[in-house]
Amino acid sequence: MKKNIGSVILDSTKISSDNKFSFSGKKVEQGLLFIELQAHKGRYAAIFMGADDVSVVIPIDSIERANVKGSATDELFKKLVEKVESIELSSSKELQDKYMEAVNQNDTLLAMEVEKKMMEKYKEMESQISEISVSFIKENPDSPVSAFILKTLRGISNSELKEYYGILSDDVKKTSFAQEVRDRIEESESQEDEKNADNKDEDHTKNSDSKEDNHENHEDHDGHNHDK
């Protein structure tokens, strides 16, 4: 069991002769975990763990389609994934087929035209996914899935990020996902403070230069009057 693909192993167990396995002991933090079978390296069953005890049935020939029972958190996560995947499929399949057809026919102009439409469709898809994600966070502030979604959300301002982070429950804010969001907010605020400080220094320098120029002009004016 791993917290991230390619990360260190959190726990391990053996599969019995009747193809059963179990993990026991101290529960790991709520969040997205990955189960990998020794005989199928590089393929994972993704499970979003909550505070519940769960049972997992993993098809040997299709590890990615693990059936998880007993985890309301995983069920919630899977429903969200299905929504996102349905948008991705409906948004890209038809245009991808047209693009490949144009490429196969060496129709460069048509390929460029379809590619442009694909980019427009992609932006539209990203907007839809963002709306679904934000709605999910607002409707499920007590779920660690919301912290995970917020961590992966891009294309929003820091003020929006702070707003959505503030919606999360105190328990969810303790998760590593929420910590990453908090770090992102603090880093953005720090960069903004540095930028404001640089702008103030620049304004101060400009004002100082302006005062010196005015002083020199005044001296020149007095000098001309004296000569007369």
pLDDT in tens, the chain (228 residues): 445 444 445 555 556 566 665 555 555 566 777 777 766 666 777 778 776 677 777 776 777 777 777 778 888 998 998 898 888 777 667 788 888 888 899 989 988 998 888 888 888 888 899 999 999 999 999 999 999 999 998 888 999 999 999 999 999 999 889 999 999 999 999 888 788 776 776 666 666 656 565 555 555 555 555 555
Is there a domain that residue 53 lies in? yes
Counting the structural domains of the chain, the total is 3
Sequence-ordered list of residues with C-beta below 8 angstroms from that of 153, at least 6 positions apart, any chain? 130, 133, 134, 161, 164
Is there a domain that residue 211 lies in? no
Considering 10, 43, 70, which residue would you say is the last residue of a domain? 70
Count Cα neighbours of 160 within 13 Å in the Cβ-side half-sphere.
12
Instruction: Report the pLDDT value the prediction gives residue 86, as an integer from 0 to 100.
Output: 84
Considering 70, 99, 130, which residue would you say is the last residue of a domain? 70
Same domain, 95 and 134: yes
Is there a domain that residue 215 lies in? no
Q: Tell the burial category of 80 from Cβ atoms under 10 Å away from its Cβ (0-12, 13-18, 19+).
A: buried
Same domain, 127 and 146: no
Is there a domain that residue 221 lies in? no
- Cα–Cα distance measured from residue 173 to residue 178, given in angstroms and rounded to the nearest whole number: 5
Same domain, 80 and 49: no
Considering 14, 41, 70, which residue would you say is the last residue of a domain? 70
Same domain, 66 and 2: yes
Is there a domain that residue 50 lies in? yes
Is there a domain that residue 219 lies in? no
Give the residue ranges of DSSP H helices in the chain.
Answer: 72-104, 108-139, 144-152, 158-167, 176-227
Closest listed residue to residue 127, CA positions, set 163, 185, 88: 88
Output the CA–CA distances (angstroms, integers) from residue 114 to 68, 89, 102, in the order listed.
40, 17, 8
Closest listed residue to residue 148, CA positions, set 162, 163, 131, 136: 136
- Residue 9 contacts residue 2 (beta carbons within 8 Å): yes
In which domain, by residue range, is 78 found? Answer: 74-139
Predicted TM-score (pTM) of this structure: 0.66
Sequence-ordered list of residues with C-beta below 8 angstroms from that of 115, at least 6 positions apart, any chain? 99
Closest listed residue to residue 185, CA positions, set 156, 218, 212: 156
